[in-house]
Chains A and B, each alone.
Chain A
Amino acid sequence: MLRAESLCKTYGRGAKAVRALSEVSLSVDAGQFVLVRGASGCGKTTLLLTLGAMLAPDSGRVEVGGTDPYTLNDEARAGFRATRLGFVFQQFYLIPYLNVRENVACAAVKGTNGGGDGRVEELIARFGLEGRLEHRPAELSTGEKQRVALARALLNRPRLVLADEPTGNLDEANAQTVVKALKDYAREDGAAVLMVTHDPRWEAAADRIVCMEYGRVL
């Protein structure tokens, strides 16, 4: 499902240049739940953004479901993200002025089965948010926020889910829920799920663990 070959990414130039990715190769099959581990600053977020069709690598190649998103123009690449990819972030990144339902639905795209066919309600029910439909993010607990973010990420049935430390701000129980949801999504919907984390507790749940150090995969 996801293949990355020899990805290199350097921020800045000259003396200030930081090599965030060097020769990273990686592949995740459909149905797999893969963890990425590594110290802070080793390039995990950079990797996720590169795989997520938002940050073009300096060299190397990314392929998601057979398509290299960096061969697409900006507009097509946005559509590619909307239909093929789901993102979950540590800080949830909900839209503050939209309520729970709207936050889940805001990424709905015509042509996927994201909008209008009960998918929103299904996800809201799956993540136990039925009583919170009209609430704004500011009125939610952190666990609820992350569940809303999860529902939003899964709305368009993405083939690849990229989660950047989604449990970093959560308590044990909520973290468990999130990890289980991601793993279940990989299993049941046959998607590739890549989750960045520092936390060794989730290693047991993973199909594979990718360790990074100084921009390299060990």
Chain B
Amino acid sequence: MKLGTLMVRELLHRKVNALAGILAMAAAAGACAGVVLLLRVFDAQTERLLASRRTASAKAWAIFQDEMRKDMLRLGFNLMILNREQNLSTPDEQTKTMPEEYGAKLAAAKLAEINHIVPFLQRKLWWPEKSRWITLVGTTGDAYIKAFGKQTPMVQAVAPGKAVPGYAIHKGLGLVPGQKIALGGWTFEVARGLEQRGFEEDEMIYIDLRTAQDMLKLPGKINGILAVNCVCVGPEALLTIRKRVEALLPGTRVIEHNSKLVTRAEVRGKAAKEADAELARQERLRTELRAGRVTAGTTLIPLVALAAAFVLGVLTWENVGRRRLEIGILRALGFTARRIQALFLAKAMAIGLVGAAAGYGAAVVAVKLWLATGEPWEMFVEPLLPALLLGGSLVLAAAASWIPAQLAAGVDPAMVLLQEGG
């Protein structure tokens, strides 16, 4: 007689034992399938959520671009690069300094959005010879001009020994080109007078930077750098220009000076940046949540597998004990020990297979109808997971019933028949 027939007849005969085994394996397979399917649903939800966040962020950036494009047609920006510790409430008293090389360093970086670089050393001081306050500015003129030759410099260089007074000064004192003036013990020749520009500049006297450094006893130092923009870059660059310059020149702070473009970009970019931050936050959150679920799943799966193996092992063991006489009879009739072992292994594996199939089916139906009504069936019905579950259940069942099956094979028919009252 075929082992299969014998096995099926016995399975149907001792239904409770078989059902208990099937139930245990179904619970384990269902839990495993549930973990995997729920994770799949979770991933699909994550994908949808992040996709909508990505759209929102892209939309915010589009709005930003649009708004800034209009602004950038009309406006440029000036950046003032100062020592980080400079007190901004008294910009006239710029006593904090930075190395003069910073000008060259910034120029060498050739930032696309910067057009002119003007380092300066300036100090408000008392002019004893004329009894008035002035702002002395040492300059080299433009240290860098992006489109050299095409653009006129922002600030003209002043030759050593020469001075260029602001409008208020040369008008007020009646200074004319060629005239000598004494300033703090130094003598300068007036090169020319400046046009009227505005309040601050009209009170300045421009001289050569080196001379100013000597006068103020600050060799190799400057107070700051004026950097003026070029509108040949996208608006996103405005959002990071300050950070990039600060990173390039340690110890400095970059403020927008007499212009509003960078600040406006920063304000307008806020919504887009927030959308980006929200996207990143959601991404992080979902990743964390997923990791938690994976951890829980990978803890749960071995536990339920172990529990199912234990139950199946105990059930097979109980089945062997109950069938000792039967084993003895079959052995007397000529069944080999190996066939007896195969009989019990096959039974456990059949239970494993049926249980796994039932558990998988139940998990699919439960997850789909209960928790993921919106997801398509295709997400749940695919061959890999059931194949893995069925294969795993076969291995698990064989392992769990190995020892009981070995015991069954070892049953001595003579002892059984003697004990059963031959």
Residues of A whose CB lies within 8 Å of any CB of B are 45-46, 48-49, 52, 54-55, 74-75, 78-83, 85, 87, 89-91, 93, 95-98, 102, 105-109, 152, 164
Contacts and interface: CB of A to CB of B under 8 A. Distances in A.
Interface string B315-355: 00000000001100111111111100000000000000000
Given A87-B333, A102-B5, A107-B333, A46 B418 contact: yes
A82 B333 contact: yes
A152 B334 CA distance: 12
26 contacts: A49-B417, A49-B418, A49-B422, A54-B331, A54-B413, A55-B414, A75-B338, A78-B331, A78-B337, A80-B334, A81-B334, A82-B333, A89-B417, A91-B420, A91-B421, A93-B329, A93-B332, A95-B6, A96-B326, A97-B9, A102-B1, A102-B5, A106-B333, A107-B333, A108-B1, A164-B422
B10 interface: yes
B325 A97 contact: no
B12 interface: yes
A207 B422 CA distance: 24
Contacts of B414: 49, 54-55
Interface string B398-422: 0000000000000001100110111
Contacts of A152: 333
Contacts of A95: 6, 326, 329-330
Interface residues of B, number: 27
B325 A45 contact: no
Contact of B418 (A45, A87, A106): A45
Given A54-B417, A82-B333, A95-B329, A106 B422 contact: no
Enumerate the 3 nearest inter-chain pairs by beta-carbon distance, A residue then B residue, closest first.
Answer: A82-B334, A97-B13, A45-B422
Nearest to A102: B1
Contacts of B331: 54, 78
Contact of A87 (B5, B10, B332, B421): B332
Contacts of A74: 336-337
Interface of B: 1, 5-6, 9-10, 12-14, 325-326, 329-338, 413-414, 417-418, 420-422
Contact of A79 (B5, B336, B420): B336
A106 B12 CA distance: 17
A9 to B, nearest CB: 10
Contact of A81 (B14, B325, B332, B422): B332
Contact of B422 (A83, A90, A109): A90
Most buried by B among A78, A81, A82, A109: A78
